[in-house]
Amino acid sequence: MEYFLQQLINGITLGSIYGLIAIGYTMVYGIIGMINFAHGDIFMVSSFIALIVITALGVTVSTGLGMTFLALILVLVSAMVIASVFGWTTERLAYRPLRGSFRLAPLITAIGISIVLQNYIQITQGARVKPLQPLIADGYTLMTRVDANGEFAVQISNMQILIIVVTIVLMTIFSLIIAKTSLGRAQRACEQDRKMASLLGINVDRTISTTFVMGAALAAVAGLMFLLYYGVIDFFIGFIAGVKAFTAAVLGGIGSLPGAMLGGLVIGLIETFWSAYFSVEYKDVAAFSMLAIVLIFLPQGLLGKPEVEKV
């Protein structure tokens, strides 16, 4: 029971990170119907930027709480801004020229951009893994159990609390943007019918760019969280996290923001529990099998709208 609870906490933390990345996939897929393959790599790039800024600011675990907090906000903002520039630029250079063209073309350019970003970071930052000392220590012990095997404590670290809180706050903000602002309205309109939206005076190109920027900014949040939580990054983390986040987006129902979050949580939990109770090696197999199973039996995802086949 205690072990289960601990895994639940770990799973939710991991799921929050996947969910944040998944939002980028789901928004882009919703609006232009393409898998932005490079999105996982934007996440990777942003975690490197966060690492650079943290190193530049010289934050360590011994820095005072207030200063760490301020520094992290600065790190977060700069990572979000620069990741947004990356996201905007890839859209502008690699996807916009192909809009309305052959469907597979942007997928290929996306794969190309993904290769470019990975190798760019490998060249500029080195191929070796980058370790970061934990910045936020401590946590709370929720319960302890003492039995013949020794002591087992269920803990939630401050880091996990931070990840979960930040995720909830950002999710709320972005859901409000989509639901209430004119930008969100424009996005939903473009999702429904891009041609009609442009006829009604919506700047479709700008709306799509904004979508990429928003997705990249959230990926940057995930990148920082990932860096702080795991403390190790390399140039290849984007691929596998990207595939899993896309899985999460599909699982939740593509195009749906709460769906992406839910999908992220489900994938995070499956992965954590599978690692905890079965085998760590096959955790990816578990996540991917889940994707296949859901798509086969529930193709519209958990929260997606069913697709009606028009004849």
Window 221 to 260, contacts with other proteins (CB under 8 A): 239, 243, 246-247, 250
Q: Which residue number, 17 or 59, has a Cβ lying nearer to other proteins?
A: 59
Q: Which residue number, 94 or 219, has a Cβ lying nearer to other proteins?
A: 94
Q: Least distance (Å) from other proteins to the CB of residue 74?
A: 14
Q: Are residues 61 and 134 in contact, defined by beta-carbon separation less than 8 angstroms? A: yes
Q: Are residues 63 and 71 in contact, defined by beta-carbon separation less than 8 angstroms? A: yes
Q: Least distance (Å) from other proteins to the CB of residue 214?
A: 17
Euclidean distance between CA atoms 140 and 181, whole angstroms:
39
- Residue that has been written with the tokens 């803990």 in this structure: 155
Task: Write out the E strands in the chain.
Answer: 130-131, 139-147, 150-157, 232-233
Element (H, E) at 78: helix 65-90
Strand partners, 232: 131
Among 8, 63, 74, 122, binds other proteins (CB under 8 A): 122
Q: List the x/- string, 59-98, binding to other proteins by CB under 8 A.
A: -x--------------------xx--xx-xx---xx--xx
Q: Are residues 269 and 46 in contact, defined by beta-carbon separation less than 8 angstroms? A: no
Residue 144 engages other proteins in binding (rule: CB under 8 A): no
Q: Which residue number, 117 or 262, has a Cβ lying nearer to other proteins?
A: 117
Q: Which residue number, 36 or 167, has a Cβ lying nearer to other proteins?
A: 36
Residue 281 engages other proteins in binding (rule: CB under 8 A): yes
Euclidean distance between CA atoms 65 and 262, whole angstroms:
32
Q: DSSP assignment of 267-278, as one string? A: HHHHHHHHHHHT
Residue 103 engages other proteins in binding (rule: CB under 8 A): yes
Q: Which residue number, 90 or 187, has a Cβ lying nearer to other proteins?
A: 90
Q: Which residue number, 117 or 225, has a Cβ lying nearer to other proteins?
A: 117
> Which region, judged by CB under 8 A, interacts with other proteins, from 51-59, 142-150, 185-193, 219-227?
51-59
Q: Least distance (Å) from other proteins to the CB of residue 118?
A: 8
- DSSP structural state of residue 61: T
Q: What is the CA radius of gyration of the chain?
A: 20
